[in-house]
Amino acid sequence: MKVTDTIVYVGVNDHEVDLFEGQYQVPNGMSYNSYVILDEKTAVMDTVDAAFGQQWLNNVEKALQGRRPDYLVVQHMEPDHSANIPLFLEKYPHVQVVATAQAFKMMNQFFSLPSDIQQMPVTNGGELALGTHKLTFVCAPMVHWPEVMISYESEEKVLFSADAFGKFGALDVEDNWVDEARRYYIGIVGKFGMQVQNVLKKAADLDIRMICPLHGPVLKENLGNYIGLYDTWSSYRPESQGVTIAYASIYGHTKEAALCLAEELRKNGTTVAVYDLARDDMAAAVADAFRYSKLVLASNTYNAGINPFMNDYITRLAEHSYQKRTVGLIENGSWAPMAAKVMRGMLEKCKEITFAENTVTLMSAMKSENEAQVKALAAELR
């Protein structure tokens, strides 16, 4: 598949993967992208997941049209992109491998490569001329591993962005880019907002006409929109006004209060996303907490603590640097409700959290006073 006349897509679609990175549900599969640049010299940009070695090699061979590859550029050592480095070097032992020093170190950790491989270590700002095409390498530490670099090709103004601007989903399935890109970004890179901001600052000086990520489609239009979303996500600003309600309930009474709140909010035109933390996709619930300006956590008390699913959820939010949001609390308990206190305590390490003044406290089941509390919380959040 041509990206341009001289850049060819040689990646693969994976519909067999059950959990991406061992935890993310990917109902539409995954793409592992790789590209070939054809010029006086040829460069292959990254490899693909181990399961697709032969298919990828065939794609590369076809794209090269009988030529030999001169360079293998390794932007990221995560195995879904690097697993086929040994296979590639077995077939093309003369190739110069271009990567950061830290990537070479990881290469030797992951693989037992021959000692005579041709290494070309690069640092930030390093360049590689292929003919009319010229790659400039920009180090992007922790976006989302420390060895990551992205590559700017100045002839066609293409940014090879490594995992940035990637998404879940194979390329042969139509879906909503922003939802699957947000779930991917928040889950995988979300913790490293400051590092993403640093890369965006470096990229602001570049004239970018096209973004070639390691997952998801090549982005050719409305690049300002995608870059703007990355700026929003990495600065932890809400993307939209709205409320995410995440609940964990054993017998259904806390759920009832959560759904009652959702109804109250919707009545007034507030956008609401509701998640059952025991049953719905936790990564989607985390992504929507970042998407919307407000969050309500509803949990039953559990052994003087909170429901284990809520515990997992708040732990994930805190790990992803959740911040700059308003949070409301709904708790339930049959003898000593503690959930609101525990949830509040868990979020205290998060920056710039404003707690709603109204807390809903159920003593086992919804009563008329709880309905009044729910209405008061809704009034405060809308």
For the packed helices 282-291 and 308-319, what is the interaxial angle rounded to 10 degrees?
Answer: 50
Q: Which stretch binds ligand FMN (CB under 6 A): 74-82, 113-121, 183-191, 335-343?
A: 335-343
Residue 279 as a binder of ligand FMN (CB under 6 A): the answer is no
Q: Which residues pair with 135 in a beta bridge?
A: 128, 153
CB of 260 to ligand FMN, least distance (A): 12
Q: Does 370 bind ligand FMN (CB under 6 A)?
A: no
- State the DSSP H helix or E strand holding residue 129, giving kind and residue range, or none if neither: strand 127-129
311 is a contact residue toward ligand FMN (CB under 6 A): no
Sign of CA dihedral 306, 307, 312, 314: negative
Residue 337 interacts with ligand FMN (CB under 6 A)?
Answer: yes
333 in contact with ligand FMN (CB under 6 A) = yes
User: Does 367 participate in binding ligand FMN (rule CB under 6 A)?
Assistant: no
Least separation in angstroms between residue 256's CB and ligand FMN is 8
Answer yes or no whether residue 230 interacts with ligand FMN by CB under 6 A. no
Planar angle of CA 310, 314, 319, nearest 5 degrees? 145
Q: Does 249 bind ligand FMN (CB under 6 A)?
A: yes
What single-letter DSSP state applies at residue 117? -
Residues 6 or more apart from 176 whose CB is under 8 A from it?
none
Q: How far is the CB of 249 from ligand FMN (least distance, A)?
A: 3
3-state secondary structure of 76: coil
Using CA atoms, how far apart are residues 89 and 81, in angstroms rounded to an integer?
Answer: 15
What are the tokens at 217?
Answer: 């489609």
- The correct pick among 19, 279, 335, 357 for binding ligand FMN (CB under 6 A) is 335
11 vs 333 by CB, closer to ligand FMN: 333
Which residue number, 115 or 335, has a Cβ lying nearer to ligand FMN?
335
Category of 302 on φ-ψ map: left (φ > 0), alpha (ψ -120 to 50) or beta: beta
By CB under 6 A, how many residues form the interface with ligand FMN? 19
Helix then strand count (H, E) for the chain reads 12, 21
Assess 373 for contact with ligand FMN (CB under 6 A).
no
Shorter beta-carbon distance to ligand FMN: residue 194 or 250: 250
Residue 187 near ligand FMN by CB under 6 A? no
- Per-residue mark of binding to ligand FMN, 250-269 (x: CB under 6 A): xxxxxx--------------
Range in contact with ligand FMN (rule: CB under 6 A) among 41-49, 177-185, 199-207, 296-304: 296-304
* E strand intervals along 187-312: 210-212, 240-248, 272-276, 292-302, 305-306
Half-sphere exposure of 190 (CA within 13 A, CB side): 27
Token pair 């992803």 in the structure block, residue:
320
Minimum CB distance to ligand FMN, residue 366 (Å): 9
Cis check: omega of the bond before 144, within 30 degrees of 0: yes
Residue type, 313: Y
Site for ligand FMN in 92-131 (CB under 6 A): none
- 160 versus 302: smaller Cβ distance to ligand FMN: 302
Q: Give me the residue label for tokens 């959930």.
A: 339
Using the minimum distance from each CB to ligand FMN, give the nearer residue, 97 or 330.
Answer: 330
Is 135 in a helix, a strand, or coil?
strand
**Residue 165 contacts residue 211 (beta carbons within 8 Å):** yes
Nearer to ligand FMN, 142 or 278 (CB): 278
Toward ligand FMN, which CB reaches closer, 73 or 257? 257
Nearest Cα neighbor of 51 from 24, 11, 90, 91 is 11
Quick one: which segment of 20-28, 145-153, 273-281, 328-336 binds ligand FMN (CB under 6 A)? Answer: 328-336
Distance in Å, CB of 247 to ligand FMN, minimum = 8
Q: Does the footprint of ligand FMN cover residue 300 (CB under 6 A)?
A: yes
Closest residue to ligand FMN, judged by C-beta, is: 333
Regarding 334 and contact with ligand FMN (CB under 6 A), the answer is: yes
Structure tokens at 275: 């998640």
- Measured between alpha carbons, how far is 109 from 5 in angstroms, rounded to an integer? 37
Residue 364 touching ligand FMN (CB under 6 A): yes
Please give the residue ranges that form the binding site for ligand FMN (CB under 6 A).
249-255, 300-304, 332-337, 364
